[in-house]
């Protein structure tokens, strides 16, 4: 893969946003989403500022980009993030159909400053019966009704 000077500039912007976040009291993470040479969105981690555990830089940036474009599909976009995405952010990136991920710091770098996501990766490798937080099936027959409604709906927006 060829990395361009423009890629470096977008990553520097993600890093700048991370630095700015630390100065404001937020977490040390920033992200930028680019499509067709246009910066769609850029944001930083605001978990502690917003009291929202999902307010990671990547998720905040995906939300901004989707609002800007009026779509949940960011196909053809690239995300530049100051750190390798955690499992939640990686999932959001996949759900948004972002095509490429550039990252600065690694998971190990994050662990070294006490941001350890490894336990989530480890949990995902365990069977449901052996996870730390119990997953307990309940009222599946009733819940399946909603799935049948979805399958029968002719005018649904698939994603």
Catalytic, out of 13, 58, 84, 142 = 58
Task: For tokens 């449901």, name the residue.
Answer: 128
In this structure, the chain runs to a length of: 159
pLDDT of residue 5: 98
How high is the pLDDT of residue 118? 84
Query: What whole-number distance in Å separates Cα of residue 136 and Cα of residue 143?
Result: 14
Query: Tell me, what's the pLDDT at 103?
Result: 98
Q: What is the spatial distance between Cα 116 and Cα 113, in angstroms, rounded to a whole number?
A: 8
Do β-strands 100-105 and 77-83 pair in parallel, antiparallel, or remain unpaired? parallel
pLDDT, residue 116, reads: 83
107: exposed, middle or buried (Cβ count in 10 Å: 0-12, 13-18, 19+): middle
Q: Which pLDDT score, from 0 to 100, does residue 159 have?
A: 87
Q: How far apart (Å, rounded) are the C-alpha atoms in residues 83 and 103?
A: 5
Mean pLDDT of the chain: 96
Closest of 8, 75, 16, 5 to residue 40, by C-alpha: 75
123 is catalytic: no
| Residue 1, pLDDT score | 85
pLDDT less than 50: residues of the chain: none
Q: Which residues contact 3 (CB under 8 A, 6 or more apart)?
A: 102
What's the confidence (pLDDT) of residue 42? 98
């Amino acid at each position: 893969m060829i990395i361009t000077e423009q890629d470096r500039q977008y990553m520097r912007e993600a890093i700048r946003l991370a630095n700015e976040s630390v100065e404001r009291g937020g977490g040390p993470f920033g992200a930028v989403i680019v499509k067709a040479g246009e910066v769609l969105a850029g944001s930083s981690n605001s978990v502690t500022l917003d009291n929202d555990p999902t307010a990671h830089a990547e998720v905040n940036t995906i939300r901004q980009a989707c609002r800007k474009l009026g779509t949940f599909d960011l196909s053809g976009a690239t995300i530049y993030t100051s750190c390798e995405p955690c499992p939640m952010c990686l999932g959001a990136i996949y759900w948004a159909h972002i095509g490429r991920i550039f990252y600065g710091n690694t998971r190990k770098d994050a662990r070294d400053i006490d941001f350890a996501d490894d336990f989530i990766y480890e949990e995902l490798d365990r069977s449901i019966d052996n996870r730390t937080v119990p997953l307990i099936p309940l009222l599946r027959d009733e819940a399946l009704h909603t799935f049948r409604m979805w399958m029968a709906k002719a005018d649904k927006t698939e994603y």
